[in-house]
Amino acid sequence: MKLAVMVNEGPYQHQSADSALQFTKAALEKGHEVFRVFFYHDGVNNGTRFGVPPQDDRNITVQWSELAEQHNIDLVVCVAAAQRRGLLDENEAKRHGKDGNNIANGFRISGLGQLIEAGIQSDRLVVFGD
């Protein structure tokens, strides 16, 4: 089965981010394909490389990055939600006159069209968070 995943909550504010990550790992282990993970609303905060959780805590952003690299998963952060929360890639930083970017490895910024495409191309769209 081809799956798309949508994450609407930040990495440490709500269980949804952990649940989405664990669901995605389990789906891959069972042989399913994950077409795309789309981060929306506060979920875009999963894509910042500046998050520094305590050493004895999990680093959800790094876990997403590693999973994406291992399984060639497209991690897409909604551009509008990202800008509102100060998450920028190199292109968006330049476009807005900012001197740096803070997007984590494996994540990319794009629009809601990527969510629509994921829903069309996948057998199921699984949503985590409100």
Task: Encode the chain (130 residues) as per-residue pLDDT tens digits.
Answer: 999 999 999 999 889 999 999 999 999 999 999 999 999 999 999 999 998 888 888 999 999 999 999 999 999 999 999 999 999 999 999 999 999 999 999 999 999 999 999 999 999 999 999 8
Active site residues: 78
Q: CA 10 to CA 39: how far, in whole Å?
A: 9
Per domain, the residue ranges of the chain are 2-128
At residue 12, φ and ψ (nearest 5 deg) are -130, 5
Q: Topology of domain 2-128, per CATH?
A: Hypothetical Protein Ychn; Chain: A, (3.40.1260)
Question: Is the Cβ–Cβ distance between 21 and 10 less than 8 Å?
Answer: no
